[in-house]
Structure 1
């Protein structure tokens, strides 16, 4: 649906059942260019780390009314791309993104590969709306790169956790309620009102109910701007029980570190479950999350990567 904030194109990873590293956004603050520039909405706005979908926020790109409008980021090195996330404009004309294509490759030409059967080792990511005269606006483009695993194919995915019911172990004040982490807003400034916050307590936790059982391939977490090390050591659990100690619950990942204000992508090896829990073990801990996104995964394969 067009109202979904982040459209996520994920290239599924073929894994061997071992833990996998979180994937960082390699497009952040990289070199950009676009077909034209409307007023002050230049191409660098698409990789500035600001995910606000309101054009007046100054966080979005905007072309003139071009034939085949396009935008491109140079990652400055060749990466193995696993996912591309696009934040669409949210205040108006959200339908303008319809028909856009994501092209990736090592060439500046806009006929870069779109073949999902290939492993995408690429330097350039291009967003283009071909065959039409239109304005194009992008409020953020994130490119997540994998160092291991094999790409099986690609599909358009939607955030399963968006607007679902969330609960947490406690709530500090009236602003940091659990639902803030699934509101579709990745604003990492707590004062903006889009982050959760527990009291200082032993083993704080946060949980979302996806309502149905899904095969989960990815969990993406946005860390708070003001708490650089706040999520260090946190664990992501998936299962069909609200209790992570139940035998069917599986730990997807341990968060070693997410830089402040950034979103990191955690492959979860296609685990089935209804509940996704973020658990922070230890005493006198505070858990604060600015967004938790959950995406489909493929059934696990038996062959080794």
Structure 2
């Protein structure tokens, strides 16, 4: 049976919480919201490969936390200066957490002090991307999860072991997150509806890409009741106001005037976010 417990280990400022778990396959610890391991879709490479039948970079993103080197599921470099391992996620993601599994059968201290870089540059093999965490000592065969409270975004996740005569061994790297926003107004691709129609001001007018505030470019209901998504206190006539939804997931965006009979006028609704899997 696996166990979970917190450790007072704090890497760099973006890191909020870390949890240490056993890496056996008989019952992994619940680490909160379930998100997909996007590293499984990626392509891995490393500075060099240890001269053996094992140790390929891909082994660290094969979805297997097996931490015995002889089982063939760990990535290992040659002994060198600043060895590195990197996964190309093939798209830009907002990274919410990273889990690293250390080797069980030998030399767990080799991973001590490894830096995790996340970004979208391949300059200096990705080493120039921001450092988002520095690994403490991870006991043999254990997995360390790093949760990010600040925005961490990028296409490449690198593990770099600074120093001379270092040998990098990683048995699994899991990267959890979601596609980064593109800046595209997703509402333009949607379909609009409303509780009722007043005159000719149809629901579609509020997602036609036109911020014009004359009644002919707005949607307009009859006097109805209820629901809400964002509470709008007061927006002056002809003005635009934005709301930060803090990463809410959903398919439907609804604007409602609650608890009173009222006409609802909306001239444009723009929705920005990420396409979820």
TM over 0.5: yes
- Does residue 23 in structure 1 map to residue 46 in structure 2? no
Partner of 1:280: 161
1:160–1:293 CA contact under 8 A, matched in 2: yes
Shift of 1:143: 3.8
Aligned ranges for residues 29-44 of structure 1 at < 5 Å?
none
Give aligned pairs, total: 169
2:155 aligned counterpart, secondary structure = strand
Equivalent position to 2:71, from 192, 201, 214: 192
Q: Indicate the structure with greater helix content.
A: 2
Map Cα deviations across residues 90-111 of structure 1 (whole Å, 9 max, x no partner): xxxxxxxxxxxxxxxxxxxxxx
Q: Which runs of structure 2 are paired with 1:56-135 in the superposition (5 Å)?
A: none
Number of the residue aligned with 2:213: none
| Aligned residue number for residue 227 of structure 1 | 107
Matched, 1:271 2:149: no
> Structure 1: which 5+ residue stretches go unaligned?
1-15, 29-48, 52-138, 145-153
Unaligned runs of 5+ in 2: 1-11, 181-243, 247-277
The alpha carbon displacement at 1:19 in A equals 3.8
Return the alpha-carbon distance in structure 2 between the equivalents of residues 289 and 211 of structure 1.
Answer: 21
Report the TM-score, using the length of structure 1 for normalisation.
0.50
Indicate how the Cα distance of structure 1 residues 258 and 17 shifts in structure 2: closer, same or farther if over 3 A, else same.
closer
Which of the two has higher C-alpha Rg? 2
Identify the residue that residue 215 of structure 1 maps to in structure 2: 94
1:181 aligns with 2:177: no
Q: Distance in 2 between matches of 1:298 and 1:270?
A: 13
Aligned counterpart, 2:47: 169
Residue of structure 1 in register with 2:185 after alignment = none
Kindly tell me: are residues 19 and 164 of structure 1, through their superposed partners in 2, closer, same or farther at Cα, counting changes over 3 Å?
A: closer
Aligned to 1:270, the other structure's residue is in SS state coil
Per the TM alignment, residue 248 of structure 1 is displaced from its structure 2 partner at its CA by 7.5
1:118-164: CA deviations, max 9, x gaps? xxxxxxxxxxxxxxxxxxxxx323144xxxxxxxxx64311000152
Conservation of the 8 A alpha-carbon contact between 2:100 and 2:145 = yes
Contact 1:237 1:244 in 2 (8 A): no
- TM-superposed CA distance for 1:252, in Å, is 1.1
Q: CA deviation at 1:279?
A: 0.2
2:28 to 124, 127, 141: 141
Task: Give the Å deviation of 1:256.
Answer: 1.3
Secondary structure of 2:164 counterpart: coil
User: Does residue 291 of structure 1 match 2:203?
Assistant: no
Q: Please tell me the root mean square deviation across aligned C-alpha atoms, in Å.
A: 2.8
1:192-211 deviation digits (Å, cap 9, x = unpaired): 00001100000000000000
